[in-house]
């Protein structure tokens, strides 16, 4: 279940981002007690990787309990395996587990155009600023 370790790596990256941006928000808003909350994380996971999206979701939910990421939705977009054959000058869909060479000319799969992605695409977050009590006087 290597998704557990992948999730650990993902959480570390999210934590770095969160802490960095929280600091900036606080500096920017000196008079406010600001809160930065990540709500949704978009991942792009290629079909030609060792990652099973369901296991990743499960690991993420389990590992983020009682943390700054609790309740955050992990949105995983899967991308198909697409290769480009330079001899035929066309794209094709290799059949994972069965056949990878070009179905027309049998050239090896050398140029992968899609399917190897393992990426944190973007983060949705909310930013709430609560005026401090002293400012309300």
Partner 1 sequence: MHQTFDAVLEVNLLHANQKGADFNRAYFDRWGITCINLMSSPGAGKTVLLEKTLCALDGKVNIVVIEGDMTTELDANRLRQYGVPVIAINTGRSCHLDSKMVAGAVHQLEHYHEPKNIDLVLVENVGNLVCPAEFEVGEHAKVALLSVTEGEDKPLKYPIMFQAADCLLITKMDLVPHLDINLEQIVGNVHQLNPDCTIIPVSAKTGLGIPEWVQWICAQIHNLSKISTQDSLSEPLTVH
Contacting residue, 27, 30, 50, 70, with partner 1 by CB under 8 A: 50
The single residue among 90, 98, 133, 136 that binds partner 1, judged by CB under 8 A, is 98
How far apart CA 51 and CA 1 sit, in angstroms, is 9
Q: Which of 14, 115, 1, 122 is nearest to 57 (CA)?
A: 1
What are the tokens at 48? 């030609």
Question: Would you give the end-to-end CA distance of the chain in angstroms?
Answer: 55
Smallest distance, partner 1 to C-beta of residue 129, A: 6
Question: Mask: binding to partner 1, 51-80, rule CB under 8 A, as x and -?
Answer: x-----------------------------
- Binding region for partner 1 (CB under 8 A) out of 11-19, 63-71, 85-93: 11-19
Question: Would you say how long the chain is, in residues?
Answer: 137
d(CA 77, CA 89): 27
Residues binding partner 1 (CB under 8 A)? 1-2, 4-6, 8-10, 12-13, 17, 21, 39, 43, 45, 48-51, 96-101, 108-110, 118-129
């Amino acid at each position: 279940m290597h998704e557990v370790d992948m999730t650990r790596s993902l959480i570390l990256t999210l934590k770095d981002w969160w802490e960095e941006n929280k600091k900036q928000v606080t500096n920017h808003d000196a008079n406010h007690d600001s809160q930065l909350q990540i709500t949704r994380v978009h991942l792009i996971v290629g079909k030609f990787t060792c990652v099973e999206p369901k296991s990743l979701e499960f690991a993420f939910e389990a590992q983020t309990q009682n943390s700054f990421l609790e309740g955050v939705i992990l949105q995983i977009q899967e991308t198909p395996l697409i290769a480009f054959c330079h001899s035929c000058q066309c794209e094709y869909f290799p059949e994972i587990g069965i056949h990878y060479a070009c179905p027309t000319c049998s050239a090896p799969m050398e140029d992968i155009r899609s399917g190897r992605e393992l990426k944190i695409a973007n983060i949705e977050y909310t930013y709430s600023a609560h005026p401090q009590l002293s400012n309300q006087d």
